[in-house]
Structures are given as C-alpha cells and as structure tokens.
Structure 1
Amino acid sequence: MSVASKGNTVKVHYKGTLKDGTVFDSSENREPLEFVVGDGRMIKGFDAAVNGMSLGEDKTVTIPSVEAYGEKREDMMLDVPLDQVPPEIKPEVGMDLSIQNQMGQPTPVKVVHVDEQKITLDANHPLAGEDLIFDIKLVEIV
C-alpha cells in the first residue's frame, strides 16, 4: 500500500473546523488540495498529519495554533488616527480592509475598534490563536 512521505506530491480532501464546530475551509465540491509533503508550503501541523498516511486513509487531527497560524501577536495590532483614514472609508468594527506593508504589498486587516480619535486594525491571520481540527482523506499520491 502506498504511504505519503516527504517529497511526495499528494492530493487530499479536507474539512477544517474550529473547536466550536465552525467550518472555516473545505475542499467539498472542489478539486482535492495538491501539495508536496514537507516543502513548507502548508501549515506545519497539516503537513505532519499527511506525512505517513496511507492512500485512501481518513484521519482527524487537532493542530494547535503554534503549528497552524501561530498565536495572536500584539505587535500586529495597529492604531491609526482617524485623520489618516481615507475619507471614503467609514470604518466599522468587523470591516475587512487592506493596508500596504513596509514593502508596499497589500496586507489584509480587520477593524477591531473605532473611537473618536482612532481605529484599531488587527493584521494577524484570521485563524491566529485558533486550534484547528482537520478531517483529511488522502486520495492520491502522484
């Protein structure tokens, strides 16, 4: 029987949920996810879970936040004075925006606080600080 190992290109179907049962991603009704085991492109815990799986195997794994998108970081919380917010933007808590990072690339952020002087933006990954539960099925080893 074929077993996935480092360097193999694999295809998996998956469903990712949070502890409260909220589904945050799934390959249902899509092509399976294809990646190379151990190449560093997947979150560490997901990659490790697929390594050693047998073709056709189903597995449920819980990946702690440190092996997923990391813990929420305070240095990723940004206070922006309201007078620096473009006038066409009317910030509200929960609003998704994009800012430019130091290299000029767009970075997604979420508005988490608004008051009379400033808005607070969260630039952490939306799943930072979350333990992730994945149902994984290895469907192909290429």
Structure 2
Amino acid sequence: MSVIAPGSRVVMHYSLHLEGGFVADTSGNEPLDFVLGDGTLEPGLERHLVGLEPGAQREFAIAPGTVFPFPTKAAVQVMERSAFPKDMPLEPGLIFEFNTPAGDVVPGRIRSLEEGAVTVDFNHPLAGQPFSFVVEILEVGDAPAADSIPERD
C-alpha cells in the first residue's frame, strides 16, 4: 500500500476546526486532489500527512504560529471609503479579496468603519489561533507526469 511522501498524489477530505468547533475551512463533499509539495496546502499542514496511507483518519492539534504566522499590526491598514465601490455595503467582519501591486489576491477583513475610513485586517484569518486539522486519506499514488497536468487558469 502506498504511503504519502513528498511528491505523492493525494486525494483526501479535510477540515480545519477552531476551538469551540467552528469549521473554518473544509473540502466539503468534493475531496481535495493535489500533489504533496505543490503549494496547495501550507507546508506546516503537509508535514502531518507524510507517512499516512489510504483509509487513515487523523486529527492534528495545530499550535498558534506553527502554520500561519502570528498577527502583526503592520497587516492592519486604514483605507479611504472611496477605495471601495460606492454601492457596496460595508460592515465589520466582511471579507473582501484585494489585488496587490504584485498581482496576487489576498483576503482582507473589515475591522471597523469611521468617517470616510475603513480599517482592514490583512492578517490570515487563522493567524495566532490554535486549530485542529482533520483528515481522511482516500487515495495515495504517484504524481502525474508534468506533461499530463492540465494548465490552471
């Protein structure tokens, strides 16, 4: 039976649970199909998968700061209300996707609204929080040949 190693193709269900049971992320009904090390998962999560085989079900306790960094004040920015569409209702807790100058897309959560200003937190939503990483491994195999991988848009 195959075991997960760097470069393995892995098909699995997963969920991330915060303290109190809130599910922060999940594969839902559609399993995640990826190659270990391709950047789909954070390396701090991938390391827990090495050595598992199909049928394995595990729950890993993830300590704050070990996968996602601790929050920083520098990641909290005040933006002008005019930077957002006029007809867009803004409220604390709302999460938006922002384009960076480098062309990346990053999530930002609105923390507060004041006269013409919006405070946005760009820290990762799980930054500084303990959580559980729950997995069920469905398949493990060899990574597909590079020329057989479809290009992503």
Q: Does TM, scored on the shorter chain, surpass 0.5?
A: yes
Counterpart in the other structure of 2:77: 78
Counterpart in the other structure of 2:124: 125
Q: Distance in 2 between matches of 1:24 and 1:100?
A: 23
CA RMSD after TM alignment: 2.2
- Does residue 10 (structure 1) correspond to residue 38 (structure 2)? The answer is no
Identity %: 28
Q: Distance in 1 between matches of 2:89 and 2:15?
A: 35
**Between Structure 1 and Structure 2, how many residues are aligned?**
141
- Does residue 60 (structure 1) correspond to residue 59 (structure 2)? The answer is yes
Shift of the 2–123 alpha-carbon distance from structure 1 to 2, 3 Å rule, reads: same
Shift of the 104–10 alpha-carbon distance from structure 1 to 2, 3 Å rule, reads: closer
Shift of the 120–60 alpha-carbon distance from structure 1 to 2, 3 Å rule, reads: same
Q: Secondary structure of 1:49's partner?
A: coil
Cα deviations by residue, 1:61-87 (Å, 9 ceiling, x for unpaired): 012243322221211101124455553
- Pairing of 1:1-142 with structure 2 (within 5 A): 1-30=1-30, 32-82=31-81, 85-116=84-115, 118-142=117-141
Matched-pair contact (CA < 8 Å) for 1:60–1:136: yes
Shift of the 58–39 alpha-carbon distance from structure 1 to 2, 3 Å rule, reads: same
Shift of the 136–75 alpha-carbon distance from structure 1 to 2, 3 Å rule, reads: same
Normalising to structure 1: TM-score of the pair?
Answer: 0.82
Matched-pair contact (CA < 8 Å) for 1:62–1:132: yes
Matched-pair contact (CA < 8 Å) for 1:44–1:67: no
Matched-pair contact (CA < 8 Å) for 2:53–2:140: no
Cα deviations by residue, 1:19-67 (Å, 9 ceiling, x for unpaired): 111012223422x212222344311232011101122111110122433
Q: Distance in 1 between matches of 2:28 and 2:103?
A: 35
Q: Secondary structure of 1:17's partner?
A: strand
Q: Distance in 1 between matches of 2:78 and 2:27?
A: 36
Unmatched segments (≥5 aa) in structure 2 = 142-153
Matched-pair contact (CA < 8 Å) for 1:13–1:137: yes
Report the AA paired with residue 135 of structure 1: V
Q: Distance in 2 between matches of 1:83 and 1:27?
A: 36
